């Protein structure tokens, strides 16, 4: 703050303005409070994505265990409809057993969660893009690409009637997605630098250093 006052008072306000413009727009918003809310939002959505990935892997295990891919191997329709009839989804009693033992219900849940997961990952990547800089954007895009690849492999596995080679590749990429989601959420939870937000102290030090260099050159 002292260097800002000295330089502006010395008639070099243009140089200060140029320096600040070169710093680029602040991630999420101009105020520190809004930046903080943006980082919290990124952390929460990354943790939520990780939870969805874990649930999706569990549902995939149910699909594999029930061999549901051999029974309903069409896409985007399943059992002749995008959303099967409720009477077929909940044919067993008690109703909760359908979520674990009904091949139609289990595969339908796996598909619907895949759609939701893809949309959430895209939304998270767009939110990270607002930061404009930082590894968080790379991590969010990487996770979205991995999820897109996994979804494409899942559709391919289904339409090809579950060949062993593709099915194993589908499971291997699931581990890649889980790793990417875990690392991304962990790094976001460690601090704001991964999200591309500089602390006030770091930002102040960089501005002070560059102002000092400019004064020496002058």
**Residue 166 CA from chain centroid, whole number:** 25
Cβ neighbors of 109 (< 8 A, separation 6 or more) are 59, 99
**What's the confidence (pLDDT) of residue 218?**
59
**What's the confidence (pLDDT) of residue 183?**
95
Q: For Cα atoms 82, 97, 56, give the angle at the middle one, nearest 5 degrees.
A: 55
d(CA 175, CA 197): 30
Q: In 3-state terms, the chain is what percent helix, strand and coil (to 5)? A: 75, 0, 25
d(CA 35, CA 31): 6
Q: Show me where the domains of the chain are located.
A: 1-26+199-218, 31-196
Per-residue pLDDT of the chain (218 residues; tens, 9 = 90+): 444 433 444 444 444 444 443 444 444 444 556 666 778 889 999 999 999 999 999 999 999 999 998 999 999 999 999 999 999 999 989 999 999 999 999 999 999 999 999 999 999 999 999 866 578 899 999 999 999 999 999 999 999 999 999 999 999 999 999 999 999 999 988 765 666 555 444 444 444 555 566 666 65
Q: What is the DSSP string of 111-173?
A: HHHHHHHHHHHHHHHHHHHTT-SSHHHHHHHHHHHHHHHHHHHHHHHHHTT--HHHHHHHHHH
């Amino acid at each position: 703050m002292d260097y800002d006052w000295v330089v502006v008072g010395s008639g070099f306000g243009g140089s200060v303005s140029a320096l600040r413009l070169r710093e680029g727009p602040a991630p999420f918003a101009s105020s520190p409070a809004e930046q903080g809310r943006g980082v919290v939002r990124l952390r929460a959505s990354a943790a939520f994505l990780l939870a969805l990935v874990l649930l999706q892997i569990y549902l995939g295990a149910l699909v594999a265990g029930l061999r549901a891919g051999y029974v309903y191997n069409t896409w985007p329709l399943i059992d002749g409809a995008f959303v099967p009839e409720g009477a077929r989804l909940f044919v067993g009693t008690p109703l909760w057993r359908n979520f674990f033992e009904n091949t139609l219900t289990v595969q339908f849940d796996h598909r619907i969660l895949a759609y939701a997961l893809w949309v959430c990952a895209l939304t998270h990547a767009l939110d990270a893009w607002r930061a404009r800089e930082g590894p968080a954007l790379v991590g969010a895009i990487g996770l979205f690409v991995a999820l897109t690849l996994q979804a494409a492999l899942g559709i391919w596995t289904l339409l090809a009637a579950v060949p062993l080679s593709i099915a194993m590749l589908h499971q291997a990429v699931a581990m890649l997605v889980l790793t990417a989601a875990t690392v991304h959420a962990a790094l976001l939870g460690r601090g704001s630098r991964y999200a591309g937000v500089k602390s006030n102290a770091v930002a102040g030090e960089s501005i002070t250093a560059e102002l000092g260099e400019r004064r020496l050159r002058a």
